[in-house]
Amino acid sequence: MAANTPPSSAPVHYLVPIFPGFQLLDLTGPLDILNLLSTQPGSPRLTLTLISDSLQPVPTKPIPPAGVEWKFDLDTAFPETGGKVNTLFNQYLTPDTTYSEFLSGIRSGFGETKRPPTVDVLLIPGGVGTRLLRTWPDGSKTSNIQGLLDFIPQIKSYVSTAIITVCTGSYALAQTGILDKRRATTNMERFADVAARNPGVYWQRGARWVRSLSSEGEGPAGLEIWTSAGISAGMDVTLAFVAEYYGGIDVARDLAKELEYDWREIPEGERDPLYEKHFGL
């Protein structure tokens, strides 16, 4: 690892929301980069908090938690299979806290607990869960990520450095209005649908990752928003973020080397040739 020294203002506290149907690599790609960074000599003492609606383990597949009254509207989410989804091959992550508990704690300074008093980075993954609907016994439907959509506007003033989204995590963020009049990107396969549903965002089609500075849009003053395209692009935006805040490009390149990841270093906001190959962009 290059011996660059991160600035004293380097982000330390990462808060990551998870929900049923999150895309596993959206989350584990960026987190493994940060895992490696956290082991390097001189690295800031990074901390991670996973957060969700409840403390029950959160599946990567659309599996309702035990004891809930609602079920997933799988017919709408998976019309091509008639709502059939293989839920036998699945992984779970266990949250550290809930949205309500964290908000209560951060507003009170967490008392004497060891949780961080601030959030430096809010990292939002995407996945099919961002567009799933929950169907209730009375026939009404709500967003699978309604808890997250309610949480983001309440936590944004406590985020000191940046919001990072991966894949359709930007779709979730856009629904809160925080991305309005800001540049952003999202999953290329879902791009047209996401852009049509959120016309107030300056969507960058074909961009691997985008950094929206605090001077853009109508979001919180001083807050940067970094968005990536689909799934593996979350590693690109995280490596770019590491280069910016943790000691420079050599640090990020060494992390990519350690991961044996072919980081092509597509510049911010520029079209990725990969999308011409797969999507004709």
Is residue 2 in some structural domain? no
Catalogue the long-range contacts made by 139-144 (C-beta closer than 8 Å, 24 or more residues apart). 141/73, 142/70, 144/19, 144/20, 144/21, 144/62, 144/72
- Say yes or no to pLDDT of 6 above 90: no
- Number of Cβ within 10 Å of residue 53's Cβ equals 22
Cβ-contact 200, 180 below 8 angstroms: yes
Q: How many domains does the chain have?
A: 1
Cβ-contact 164, 149 below 8 angstroms: no
- Say yes or no to pLDDT of 2 above 50: no
Contacts of 24 (CB under 8 A, 6+ apart): 60, 91, 127
Is residue 182 in some structural domain? yes
- Say yes or no to pLDDT of 243 above 70: yes
Residue 114 has a pLDDT of 55
For the stretch 181-195, pLDDT in tens is: 999 999 999 999 999
For the stretch 104-162, pLDDT in tens is: 998 877 655 555 557 999 999 999 999 999 999 999 999 999 999 999 999 999 999 99
Is residue 4 in some structural domain? no
Is residue 45 in some structural domain? yes
Is residue 275 in some structural domain? yes
Residue 220 has a pLDDT of 60
- The model carries a pTM of 0.93
* CATH number of the domain residue 133 falls in: 3.40.50.880
Residue 108 has a pLDDT of 79
Is residue 139 in some structural domain? yes
- Say yes or no to pLDDT of 221 above 90: no
Is residue 1 in some structural domain? no
- Say yes or no to pLDDT of 272 above 90: yes
Is residue 6 in some structural domain? no
| Owning domain of residue 105 | 13-279
Separation CA 26–CA 230 (nearest Å): 8
